[in-house]
């Protein structure tokens, strides 16, 4: 035997080494803020419920149905996007979102 074995971290390796990417907590914080904004906007519907019903001269049931269907679509598309991101990678899924279609059309028509 030549001596005690070196353990991981005995020479500054392992947790906290320079090889690990920095900013992990920044990503966690950014995700927290993004989710707070997303769910805050989507569930702020109740604040505008009476105004929406009055503007469209709709009953409470019809306005609630719209909110329920939008939530259903939101979560079903989210589940599908999650499966696609697992299979093809998030970068491809994000760049193929429908929100990019109007900007592409604008770029083509502006040229």
Q: Rounded CA gap, 56 and 63, in Å?
A: 9
CA 71 to chain centre: 15
Per the CB < 8 A criterion, the answer to whether 63 and 49 are in contact is yes
Q: Rounded CA gap, 23 and 71, in Å?
A: 33
Q: Rounded CA gap, 5 and 98, in Å?
A: 56
pLDDT digits (tens, 9 = 90+) for 26-84: 999 999 999 999 888 888 888 989 999 999 999 999 999 998 998 899 889 889 989 99
pLDDT digits (tens, 9 = 90+) for 1-32: 555 555 555 555 555 556 777 888 999 999 99
Neighbours of 63 (CB within 10 A): 20
**pTM, rounded to two decimals:** 0.53
């Amino acid at each position: 035997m030549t001596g005690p074995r070196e353990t991981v971290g005995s020479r500054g390796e392992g947790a906290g080494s320079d090889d690990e990417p920095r900013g992990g907590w920044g990503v966690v914080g950014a995700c927290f803020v993004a989710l707070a904004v997303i769910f805050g906007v989507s569930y702020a519907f109740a604040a505008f419920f009476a105004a929406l019903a009055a503007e469209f001269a709709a009953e409470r049931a019809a306005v609630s149905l719209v909110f329920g269907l939008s939530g259903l679509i939101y979560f079903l598309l989210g589940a599908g996007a999650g499966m696609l991101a697992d299979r093809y990678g998030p970068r491809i899924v994000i760049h193929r979102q429908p929100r990019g279609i109007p900007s592409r059309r604008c770029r083509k028509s502006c040229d």
